[in-house]
Homo-oligomer: A and B are copies of this chain.
Amino acid sequence: MIKHMNAVPINNVTIEDSFWAKRQQLVRETVIPYQWEALNDTIPGAEPSHTIENFRIASGELKADYYGMVFQDSDLAKWLEAVGYALSGKRDEKLEAIADGVIDLLERAQQSDGYLNTYFTVAKPGKKWTNLRDDHELYCAGHLIEAAVAYYEATGKRKMVDIMSRYADHMVDVFGKEPGQIRGYDGHPEIELALVRLYRVTGNTLYLELSRFFVEERGQEPYFFDIEESQRTEHRVARRKADYFQAHLPVREQKTAEGHAVRALYLFSGAVDLAVEYNDRELLEVCKELWRNVTRKRMYITGGVGSNENWESFTIDYDLPNDRAYTETCASISLMFLASRLLQIEADREYADVMERVLYNGILSGISLDGKGYFYVNPLEVWPAACDIRDDLRSVARTRQAWFGCACCPPNIARLIASLGQYIYSYNENDREWFVHLYIGGQAHQTIDGHQVQLTQQSNYPWDGNISFTVAMEQEQSAEFTLALRLPGWCKEASLKVNGEAVELTSITSKGYAKLKRVWASGDRIELVLPMTVEKVRSNPKVRENIGKLALQRGPIVFCLEETDNGDNLRDIRVSGSGEFVVHHEDGLLDGIVFLRGNAWRTDKASYDEDSLYSTVPYSSTPVQVKAIPYYAWANREPGEMLVWLHEDRG
């Protein structure tokens, strides 16, 4: 069997810290209500969503036309999934009443055979399952299944699981290799990982089998999408290359991550789930090779992936342009999904480091500090005036938008933040190892050897690397287990104390986790110190875009310069590789960030001719002070330029 630990479930974890707790509160109190209004088209000035309307039309309650993307249903699904996570450990009658109402609406919109998709029910009756490549039916179903599972796990209310099980039963009939069945798969992976989740709560192995069928069929010859297309009379969407859908090769033969980044990472995530369930080491190795390709060759320092705007896709190794970085928020989220899954199989900090990197940078940049603005695209450099006119920068927004017509990212980031509790800890029953992957203050509960153990984590992360843990059990009890603390890759000199006594780390550290095996009892206290020095990060020199440049990172936070702090033409700022950056904190600034100040140079204006483009006389430099803020916090003040990778001056 593939060894596997399990995430300590979200119901057993509370987040109580100064960073994430307020964000979770924001999601509960602002984002979820706001998105509910968006789904109901009651936000003045926002692009219409029409999502609830579509379900009402599908249910027969309303006569009107369908409006929205073909995958509009998934917006509601992601919202409902976020609601599920938000209710975990924090029930809320009013919100549940709304969600229960939505679930009732879903039931009324469901067809008698279990089918549930408003686009086809309303806009294309009789055409269902005729364009799996483009029409996102199984994708929407997958998100609804995830919502059903999350809501059930949070509330114990099974109704939506039952609705989605009826839909999944219908899929089991429709898809497969038997005559009369469709031997195909969805253009946008998602159903694969969703069916595994549904199997895990229902125990129905047919769902697991169907997920495996979808993963294994993909990319087999003859190509399903070609067959399907030849049978269609309507060709609404321009043809895309097979690798856009990861259908260019059977998954087991793929060695590099190709095509649409979100599609790829959802697919690989589902494949990892299947590898575990079927003890399929070969499939796991395929997924790990794809993981390595993504994270070692195709990932921005922010954890963003999918550099190409055109197909929201991966391109080639080391092609990571900063101003044209597409790096969709959803792609960052899907990388976190893959990272967390591989981490459960192998407690190697490599996975947790990426998870942390993308969480604090590429994901968090997708939402404004007030929770009301969203980035779909997360570039590492923005020159607004060029974005206004250059078509190749057309996707780059300079301010976060309220809501998108294609609103995949806002509800996705809401569900991610709401579900954050499940990424912090894992427990390995066999070895009695309790892993701490992320340093997020709060409490976690785990039953160990029959005892209820509570672990309280305290930290001011990500601003401070002093983290403490306190063990609590019922009076007089004790339990032997291993507490495994991640020593992040960014930290060069971690130190650890247990009950005040220093612990030598080297001998107890394995794959980046310091393993404290002992008999623990109430009151035991662990102090972990992860010194957060300001690091100057260089890219692998094969990343052409970043040669001669460095980025500033402190702890997990990647920094950037904004025009409002540093003036325009940020590229003209050159920093020394050996210069010091001083850490500052200002309560009122950007909701209480740590920022950096340091010395740098700019070209001396007196040394060049404004009216001349080219000169054979070298320019002189003038010293300037720069101020760097966390990347995720940019675009929360005046619009302007932004830059992550700074020219390094060795002079």
Contact = CB atoms under 8 A, between A and B. Distances in A.
Interface of A: 292, 295-297, 299, 301, 308-311, 315-316, 319, 324, 383, 385-386, 388-392, 490, 492, 535-544, 547-548, 551, 553, 569, 571-572, 574, 577, 602-603, 608-616, 618-619, 647, 649-651
24 contacts: A295-B613, A299-B613, A308-B389, A308-B391, A309-B391, A309-B392, A310-B390, A310-B391, A310-B392, A315-B389, A319-B383, A319-B386, A490-B616, A537-B615, A538-B616, A538-B618, A538-B619, A539-B613, A540-B614, A543-B613, A547-B574, A548-B548, A548-B574, A651-B651
Contacts of A569: 541-542, 544
Contact of A647 (B296, B547, B609): B547
Given A315-B390, A319-B390, A537 B650 contact: no
Given A383-B544, A540-B608, A541-B602, 14 more contacts: A296-B613, A309-B391, A310-B392, A316-B385, A392-B392, A537-B615, A537-B616, A538-B619, A539-B614, A547-B571, A551-B614, A649-B650, A650-B650, A650-B651
A634 B390 CA distance: 27
Task: Give 7 nearest A-B pairs by CB, closest first.
Answer: A310-B391, A392-B392, A541-B603, A544-B571, A650-B651, A535-B616, A548-B647
Given A315-B386, A390-B315, A650-B651, A614 B309 contact: no
In the complex this chain forms, how many copies of it are found?
Answer: 2
A324 B392 CA distance: 9
A538 B616 CA distance: 6
Contact of A540 (B315, B571, B613): B613
A290 to B, nearest CB: 15
A612 B392 contact: no
A385 B317 CA distance: 10
A308 B541 contact: no
A651 B312 CA distance: 39
B316 A389 contact: yes
A616 B539 CA distance: 9
Contact of A572 (B295, B388, B541, B603): B541
Contacts of A310: 390-392
A647 B490 CA distance: 28
Given A385-B316, A389-B316, A619 B541 contact: yes
Contacts of A649: 548, 650
Contacts of A618: 536, 538, 577
B615 A308 contact: no
B548 A296 contact: no
Between A386, A535, A569, A614, the greatest number of chain B beta carbons within 10 A of the residue's beta carbon is seen for: A614
A22 to B, nearest CB: 29
A195 to B, nearest CB: 32
A429 to B, nearest CB: 32
Contacts of A611: 292, 296
Nearest to A392: B392
A547 B608 CA distance: 13
Given A324-B392, A392-B324, A613 B297 contact: yes
B541 A615 contact: no
Contacts of A536: 616, 618
A139 to B, nearest CB: 24
A574 B537 CA distance: 19
A297 B310 CA distance: 29
A553 B316 CA distance: 33
Contacts of A610: 540
Nearest to A607: B541
A543 B490 CA distance: 34
Contacts of A315: 386, 389-390
A279 B537 CA distance: 61
A349 to B, nearest CB: 14
Contacts of A389: 308, 315-316, 319
Given A297-B613, A572-B547, A614-B301, A308 B539 contact: no
Contacts of A388: 316
A211 to B, nearest CB: 31
A465 to B, nearest CB: 15
A390 B649 CA distance: 30
A302 to B, nearest CB: 11
B392 A540 contact: no
Contact of A537 (B539, B542, B614, B647): B614
Nearest to A604: B541
Contacts of A292: 611
A87 B292 CA distance: 64
